[in-house]
Amino acid sequence: MQRYAAEVFRIQQDTPQVSLSILADNVESSPQAIARMVKRLTDAGYATYEPYRGIRLTTEGEQIAMPALRRHRLGEVFLVKVMGYDWAAAHELTDVFERGMNDELEDRMAEMAGNPTRCPHGEPIPSKDGTIIMPQDAPLVDMEPGSAWRLSRVRTHDMDKLRYIGNLGLTPGVEFTLVSRAPFNGPLRLQFERSDQVIGYELASSLWVEKI
């Protein structure tokens, strides 16, 4: 239940209700298995479910999601920072890797990775006591040109997109100025310290920023 709750928590940051089809795609499970797990979560008081709309965690459900969310995001950091894996592959690799982790291994991995507070994509890592501090950020595509921003999170697990974004140098922590944004979902022009970069709206929609 923790693993499913963690996935619901992640998805519901972008949508009020998580549809069962989206949940099935993200955990790679059958509709029947998803329906059974949703029933278990709702029966235990960890979630609410509305037919044709989807599932949403209760406060108690969010709390049981934190250990699995912490373990997954720590696993991503460990694979990238310690083992040298590509950040684009970290999410899918950790889906398998985390199932063999216990508390002792989790603590050791956190120590070796420098006790990180965010995953390689910028998502916050819950503390051991289940506290999570969400960044005060927003989508780059909603920002007005002329201001300076710091890239906070890259909100996609698409491997091709992540590799392309990484090649552009758009990793969490990088700073830039949004020079212009074309109308009708047109491209955005970003100005870095020594160069400019034009990116499409679809790619930019994965980038969340915080004001410098």
The answer to whether the Cα torsion of 108, 114, 117, 121 is positive or negative is negative
Q: pTM for this structure?
A: 0.92
Q: What distance in Å separates the CA atoms of residue 103 and residue 139, rounded to the nearest whole number?
A: 35
| Mean pLDDT to the nearest integer, 35-46 | 96
One DSSP character per residue, 46-100 reads: SEEEETTTEEEE-HHHHHHHHHHHHHHHHHHHIIIIIS---TTTHHHHHHHHGGG
| Mean pLDDT to the nearest integer, 128-140 | 96
Whether the CB-CB separation of 57 and 46 falls below 8 Å is answered with yes
Residue 98 has pLDDT above 90, yes or no: no
The 10s digit of each residue's pLDDT in 109-125 is 999 999 999 999 999 99
* Domains assigned to the chain: 2-57 (1.10.10.10), 66-134 (1.10.10.10), 138-211 (2.30.30.90)
pLDDT at 67: 96
Phi, psi of 199 (to 5 degrees): -130, 150
| Mean pLDDT to the nearest integer, 65-84 | 96
pLDDT at 6: 96
Whether the CB-CB separation of 188 and 113 falls below 8 Å is answered with no
Q: What distance in Å separates the CA atoms of residue 192 and residue 71, rounded to the nearest whole number?
A: 34
The answer to whether the Cα torsion of 7, 10, 14, 17 is positive or negative is positive
Query: 56: alpha, beta or left, given left = phi > 0 and alpha = psi -120 to 50?
Result: beta
Token pair listed for 135: 């960044």
| Mean pLDDT to the nearest integer, 72-95 | 95
| Mean pLDDT to the nearest integer, 197-202 | 96
Strands 148-154 and 188-191: unpaired
pLDDT at 25: 86
pLDDT at 127: 97
Residue 26 has pLDDT above 90, yes or no: no
Binned at pLDDT 50, 70 and 90, residue 30 comes out as confident
pLDDT at 176: 97
Residue 144 has pLDDT above 90, yes or no: yes
| Mean pLDDT to the nearest integer, 157-186 | 96
